[in-house]
Amino acid sequence: MVSVIPVKEKKLIDDVKIGELPSWILMWDFTPKGIAGMFQRGYYKIFLTYVNMKKGSVPGISMVLAAYEFLNYFLSYKELKHKQLHKYH
């Protein structure tokens, strides 16, 4: 059966088959503006799902804070690596 939905409009989890995966990835916009748009859409999806709700909860906010802490640690790892405790004899 041939798919009627264009490859660009398919969702990864629901519609994209293994054979269509390379053409689906090549449809992405790899310009800096396109990559920034991908991050922005991901941020808003997480924000609207877990943080900005009628009944907000602690897990949503803690996920955002955990992601922030992980990113912060990743960016400052080079400086933290030099401050490791050493055993002196």
Give the lowest-confidence range in 1-10, 30-39, 50-59.
1-10
Looking at the predicted structure, is the pLDDT value of residue 1 above 60? no
Residue 43 pLDDT level (bands cut at 50, 70, 90): confident
Residue 89 and residue 87: Cα distance in Å, rounded? Answer: 7
Mean pLDDT in the chain? 77
| Tens digits of residue pLDDT in 28-37 | 888 999 889 9
CA atoms within 13 A on the CB side of 21: 6
What pLDDT is attached to residue 58? 77
Residue 10 pLDDT level (bands cut at 50, 70, 90): low
